[in-house]
Structure 1
Amino acid sequence: MPVELPLDDEEASTDVDLKTQLIRFVITGAGSAVLDFGLTILLQYALGAPYALSKALGFLLGTTVAYLINRRWTFRAEPSTARFIAVIVLYAVTFAVNVGLYAWLSSLWEDGLLYSAIAFVIAQGAATVINFVVQRAVIFRIR
């Protein structure tokens, strides 16, 4: 059974309106992006890890936290093995997009925190759009 956060005791449902879901998704995503970026930059600049490895580990931390919060708070969905498997597939796709874009852009530009931040924002933005659309349209409609 997937891990869940006990954020409230209300019955989970998928009847949250689009505006509320979008606002919650952005709040959750912003917090998760801070974790992702923080770990990415720490590994890359403090420990000298390669771009792709740093971003991969940051992505894993950020998306794990985001999934746990989004499932319970943003989409108010019940735990589901089928949904959890669908999220893993989605995250594999967004992992490739996010880490691939970050590593590619980082290799094109000179090394520096500003360029790393720009590459992070572009990669994160692409992955965020894919995540929201697929989670809202497909994953959190799975019963």
Structure 2
Amino acid sequence: MPIELPFDDEEASTDVDLKTQIIRFILTGAGSAVLDFGLTMLLQYGVGVSGGIAKACGFVLGTTVAYLINRRWTFRAEPSTARFIAVVALYAVTFGVNVGLYSWLSHLWSETVIYSALAFVVAQGVATVINFVVQRAVIFKIR
């Protein structure tokens, strides 16, 4: 039995309108981004882990939480092996984009908390747009 999050008791369906999906995706993404950012900054500035590795760890935590919530609440989709494989492929791409942008911007700018936060926002924003478009248009259409 897959892990389920108790956001509502209605049966899952893909009949959620675009506006509702966008609002739910943003709320889910904001919460997941807080986890991602918190772990990234804690590892990088609290523990002394390199920026790329810290961001990678934050990304994995944030995207795992986001997927679990988005599958059930935002897109109201049933569990699917094909969908899970598609999500893993998408997350591999957005992982490269997100961590790559963060690392690249971190090398361009001074390594301070402010510039790291700015690099995080830019990388997260680009990855979020890619994630929403691909999840809505492709992944949560898979049966």
TM bucket (normalised to shorter chain) is: over 0.9
User: Which digits, 9 at most, give the CA deviation of each residue in 1:107-138, with x for residues without a partner?
Assistant: 11111111001000000000000000000000
2:105 aligned residue: 105
1:116 aligned residue: 116
2:136 aligned residue: 136
Post-superposition offset of 1:2? 4.5
Give the distance between the partners of 1:25 and 1:34, measured in 2 at CA.
Answer: 14
1:24 aligned residue: 24
1:53-92 aligned within 5 A? 53-92=53-92
Unaligned runs of 5+ in 2: none
Give the distance between the partners of 1:43 and 1:104, measured in 2 at CA.
Answer: 18
Change (3 A) 1:52 1:127: same
TM-score, normalised by the number of residues in structure 2? 0.97
Q: Tell me the SS of whatever aligns to 1:78.
A: coil
TM-score, normalised by the number of residues in structure 1? 0.97
Give the distance between the partners of 1:71 and 1:93, measured in 2 at CA.
Answer: 19
- Name the amino acid aligned to 2:28: T
Unaligned runs of 5+ in 1: none
Post-superposition offset of 1:9? 2.0
User: Which digits, 9 at most, give the CA deviation of each residue in 1:79-99, with x for residues without a partner?
Assistant: 111101100000000000000
Post-superposition offset of 1:51? 0.7
Change (3 A) 1:57 1:127: same
1:1-40 aligned within 5 A? 2-40=2-40
User: Which digits, 9 at most, give the CA deviation of each residue in 1:19-44, with x for residues without a partner?
Assistant: 00000000000000000000000000
CA RMSD of the aligned region, Å?
0.9
Give the distance between the partners of 2:125 and 2:31, measured in 1 at CA.
Answer: 14
Q: Tell me the SS of whatever aligns to 2:35.
A: helix
Q: Tell me the SS of whatever aligns to 2:13.
A: coil
Give the distance between the partners of 2:108 and 2:3, measured in 1 at CA.
Answer: 39
Contact 1:106 1:119 in 2 (8 A): yes
2:45 aligned residue: 45
Give the distance between the partners of 1:14 and 1:52, measured in 2 at CA.
Answer: 36
